[in-house]
Structures are given as C-alpha cells and as structure tokens.
Structure 1
C-alpha cells in the first residue's frame, strides 16, 4: 500500500496541479531557509571549520539520487590517493543513547541507521553518526582522519566545507522545481549554481539550470546475507523467479536494474529506511529473496538464503580529473 508521503513525492516529481495549493507554505519555507542561511553567513549562527578538508555530498531534492554509492566511491578514491578519510552522517532511521556514535563492527544498525552501517561495511573507513555534525567531525579527527566526507550534509550549515557536491537523479531531475511542501526541493534551483560540482546519476531527461558531470550506478556482484561471500553477476547464484525487496528512496531504480540483469522477479517496494521484520520477508513459496545493499544491513538474521546486489558509482573521467585537481589545492 502506498503511503501518503510516497503519493505526495510522486506528485511533486510529476508536477500534479493540486500542489499549487501549497505554494503559500512554500513561500514561508523559502523565507525560513533564506533567514537561516543568512544567520550562518553573517556569524549569528556558529560555523565550525575543521583543520582538515571537508567534502560535502548531498542533495537539493527529496528521494533517492544515488548519493550513498558516490560517497562510498569517494571514500575509496581518497584512500587510493593517500588520504585517511572519515565519513560523517546524521544516521537517519537510527537512534543511539550516545553521540557521537563511532561505528564498530558490532554496532547495531538500529543505533547507526542503515546508510552509515552500509558505508562502513563497504569502505572500511571510519564512520561517525551524530546529529551535531561539528561534534561528529571532531570525533573523526580523534580517529586520525585527515579529510572528512559529510554524507547528506548540504543543508547542515554549522559544518564548514571546502567542496560541495550535489547528486541529481537524471530520470526524475528536479521534479516540478518547487520547494517544500509544494515540490521536492530542499533548496531553490539556484543553489546548484553555488556548489562546486553537480553529479547527474543516469541519463538526464530534463535540462538542469547548471552544468553537471555524468555518473552511472553499476551492479558488480551478488552478496550472500548469510556469510557475506560475493558471487559473480552471471550466472546468478540463485535460480528461478525471486522476491525483490527495496526500501530505498526510489525502489523503481533497483527493479529496473534487476530487469536489465535478466532477473525475473516479483517487486516488493517499501518506504525509504523501512525497518524490516521477519514478517516482511516471509512468503508462501520457496523463491529466493534479493534486495539492495542498504536493505541487507537490516535484514541479516531475518531470512536465510537471501542475496543483495552490490552496486558501485562510476563517475565520468572528467569528474575524476576535476576532483584530483581540486583536492591538490586544499
């Protein structure tokens, strides 16, 4: 069953006319965002500047854009370039009794949230969760990090930054280009002109008000939830039709990828950051279960014989060259 929030988001991206009734609230939201940004810019609100470079990867839209795979790619790239990166996250969907929360191998996903747990597992880099980004950044400095990646940190202005990278979903773009609650934008479209780089995930269907770099999400392997082993994409390590689960910002992207891989499936879409239970994975047949890597960190121990699909971001070479030059200047 589609939730009210999901129906609203679909309307915002497809430009439903009834959202026009919310434009007075949009005007209030935009005013509040301008005043907030001005308060940080003129010093009425404090901005913490880390003694090391800070790279922010974020969105100006609601819903999935492919941001987390780019964060994982960036962390691996920095390691290969000789840096010691740390990832800073809000940890949406998780709740801990203590912050900053430094992720260990046994940190429960219920405390960290799904994306931080996934990023820690995929990159092996230090990951800290903290609603207070400057405090979390200081914890990463204590861990010896010499560059910080702020995941989904574009609107967290209390954390100073050296580079801002925004990810846009090429298929959905900026929707009706209206701010909340009349549209899917967290910030106006003109914000794209002030960031350092715009990454476009997939083929762009509608022009953007700023130039961008191309990026693709590429499936690389199947991973067993039972023991973490990886298997090649083809032939898949399971047989027959499968139950496909996706509790991400845009489940359709995962289902499209399965179709491209030739996997026959029955789709089961859930809300982003859905907290899975054993009942969600209990079906009346013996079909295998497959899911996204983000969902897999919450489903370990709930089902046996399930598989997740490992996906990696592949930025275009021009972006890699640009990033190399910019990092050399920091």
Structure 2
C-alpha cells in the first residue's frame, strides 16, 4: 500500500492530527509575522520558490530559470538552499562545480554546474547563509530554494508551486492526513501560483482553479519542462535523440512516472525498462553495475537519466549514459477570468522591477522619519496583489 492509499484509508483518524499540525503551523507563521520569532531581510530583492506540500512540483527547474534570467541581466544571483542530503565539512557551504553530490547535494550541484557564475550556498540555517553571502558576495537577487515554510528569511515575492492533485482530492489535506505542509490559509501569503502542466491539461483544470483559488485573487501560471536534446553524462556531448534505438530509463526523483512520460513523448517511444530509485538516491558502483547489466540484458543501446541523477552518477557513468537537456516553457495564465495571454516571464519582469524600485526608495529615505516607516511597510507588502 502506497502512502496515498494509506492516508485515504485512515483519513477519518488522521484528519484531526492534520488539523492540529495545521494549527501549529499557523501559529508559527503568526509568530514570525509579529516579530516574536526573528527573521532576516536581505538588501537585494528576495524571491521564495516553494510549495504547499511534498512531491515533484518543479521547484528546481523554476530556480534554474530564475538563475538564467538573473545572469542575463547581470544581477549576480544567490541561491540559499538546505541542500537535501548534503554533507559538507562546514556551513555555510559555497558549492563549486568540482564538488561531489554527497558533499553539496544533488540539486545544488546541478544548479552550480549549469550556472557556474551564480552563488549556490548550502546551509540548513538559511538566514545565517544569507548574512554570510551578503557580506562577501553582494548579490543582486536572492532566491530561496524550497522556501515557502522557511520564514527566518523574509521575502519580497512568494512563488508557490502546486500539483493538479492539490486542487482536487488533496486540497487542504495536511500531514499526516495528506501531503500538505500547512493548511490552506497559508496560501494567502502567495504572490503567484505555478503549475507544471500541459496547456491542454491546464485548460481542463480551470473549473478547479475557479473553485479553489479565485478567493485568493492571485495569478496562476502554467509551465512545462521540455527536453531540447540529450547530453552525454561523461563529456557533455550533445545529440538530438536515440534514432529510435532502445533505451533503459533510470530515475531517482519524486515523480518517476512523469519522467517516463516526458521521455516517451520526446523520443517517440518508451523505454524497454524503467529502473526506479528513491528520490535523492545516492548511486553506488553496485547500482551502476546493475544498470549496466539490465541494459545489456534488455538489449538497450543507451541509458537515460535525469539531470539530477546525472550529477550523482558523475564519473561512475559509462559512455552510453545520457541525460536530458531541459528547458522551462511557460504556458497560459489564469487570473480569474479564463485563460489570459500574459505569461509568467512577463509578470516576473514587472514584479521584480517594482520590488527593486521599492527597496531603492526605502534605502534612500532617512530611517528616523515617518516616511521611512511607511516605506518599510510598503517593501514588506510588495507582491501582495489583492
């Protein structure tokens, strides 16, 4: 029995526990909002990329896109991340392209190798890492990875990623009764929602958006993660596809079924076999031997894995190990009146400039004036479209 079936079967017993947990998280948010619990604010515009529940919602691809956007504008981006599974010698840990996945964490290392000019800092205490990085690196934009519940760092924009299931049977089902880390009231702190979904499926989701999200008055943006080609893990050689040759799919991610659908759609045929490992799995030489043997047994010319798996396989990979070259594509948006033309990239550009202008205005205003107090309040409320 998987965890969702377990939660469904025991929902009458688990729901009261979920309500207690939801209440505790609501009190925690109130404690940070009132200043009872301390929080740190960066000098640069700060955006949180997070979600309401667990599971693969696409946070890392959105962070990756934001890094590319910032680099194109010369903004010196900084990512503050817990670094799931990372075991550095000390904290804060500035990730370098030559580090190992077990030292830096798989996703931080992947982001660092894709954006070597960005600062990716691993530390469970992200306010500590932020102070450290701001003093030494002077970032132009700060990105909180998986930051919606990490309230010790204040943010100007909250991007909350949802799964389609969050808007259906999973709505407001809080741990342990469901996958949500907080109750539905927390969504009032979002500035925008993003959903990883095809354009056609997004249109079919409109009735749920109307029912669940209209009262919040926030825009909802769709996006897809689309392969642009294939990259050999060992040397970065690129090729468009496998020319219809059979392949073995290997994944250690939160939603392996979605990866299989993406591979099948892009390559025009599914894998001969799909080896599924747990999310954030630390590959060993024994794993690699099993992968090789399975590919040989199934007569697969190639082994395909995700970019997150590729950084963990590293030098253990063989010549026939490939990964996706992925790109984020933004689709239509919803603002309570059907599909609209303005997509996330245009919305984000305008919102960032508004936040940056507000912070600049606040810095130029004397701190001991009433205007300064009002300016500080305005900067706190940037991004809160009502």
TM-score normalised by length of structure 1: 0.90
Aligned residues: 319
Equivalence for 1:270:
277
Mapping 1:133-144, distance limit 5 Å = 133-141=126-134, 142-144=136-138
RMSD: 2.0
Structure 1 residue 139 displacement after superposition: 3.0
Q: Which 10-residue stretch deviates more, 58-67 or 238-247?
A: 238-247
Structure 1 residue 190 displacement after superposition: 3.3
Determine if the alignment matches structure 1 residue 161 to structure 2 residue 155.
yes
Please say if residues 223 and 328 of structure 2, whose CA atoms lie closer than 8 Å, have aligned partners that are also in contact. yes
Structure 1 residue 138 displacement after superposition: 2.2
Mapping 1:183-222, distance limit 5 Å = 183-202=178-197, 203-204=201-202, 206=205, 207-208=208-209, 209-210=212-213, 211-222=219-230
Determine if the alignment matches structure 1 residue 309 to structure 2 residue 324.
yes
Looking at structure 1, the residues matched to 304 and 263 of structure 2 have their Cα atoms a distance apart, in angstroms, of 10
Looking at structure 2, the residues matched to 284 and 253 of structure 1 have their Cα atoms a distance apart, in angstroms, of 22
Please say if residues 282 and 312 of structure 2, whose CA atoms lie closer than 8 Å, have aligned partners that are also in contact. yes
Please say if residues 66 and 169 of structure 1, whose CA atoms lie closer than 8 Å, have aligned partners that are also in contact. no
Mapping 1:17-96, distance limit 5 Å = 17-96=9-88
Structure 1 residue 267 displacement after superposition: 1.1
Looking at structure 1, the residues matched to 313 and 167 of structure 2 have their Cα atoms a distance apart, in angstroms, of 31
Looking at structure 2, the residues matched to 50 and 285 of structure 1 have their Cα atoms a distance apart, in angstroms, of 49
Gaps spanning 5+ residues in structure 1: where? none
Please say if residues 196 and 222 of structure 2, whose CA atoms lie closer than 8 Å, have aligned partners that are also in contact. yes
TM-score normalised by length of structure 2: 0.78
Please say if residues 179 and 185 of structure 1, whose CA atoms lie closer than 8 Å, have aligned partners that are also in contact. yes
More helix by percentage? 2
Task: Evaluate the alpha carbon distance shift between residue 174 and residue 53 of structure 1 in structure 2; reply closer, same or farther with a 3 A threshold.
Answer: farther
| Residue in structure 2 matching 1:294, options 301, 308, 317 | 308
Looking at structure 2, the residues matched to 61 and 278 of structure 1 have their Cα atoms a distance apart, in angstroms, of 33
Task: Evaluate the alpha carbon distance shift between residue 284 and residue 62 of structure 1 in structure 2; reply closer, same or farther with a 3 A threshold.
Answer: closer
Gaps spanning 5+ residues in structure 2: where? 214-218, 332-341, 356-386
Looking at structure 2, the residues matched to 313 and 172 of structure 1 have their Cα atoms a distance apart, in angstroms, of 21
Structure 1 residue 175 displacement after superposition: 4.5
Structure 1 residue 11 displacement after superposition: 3.0
| Residue in structure 2 matching 1:226, options 226, 231, 234 | 234
Equivalence for 2:177:
182
Please say if residues 174 and 184 of structure 1, whose CA atoms lie closer than 8 Å, have aligned partners that are also in contact. no
**Helix, strand or coil: the match of 1:159?**
coil
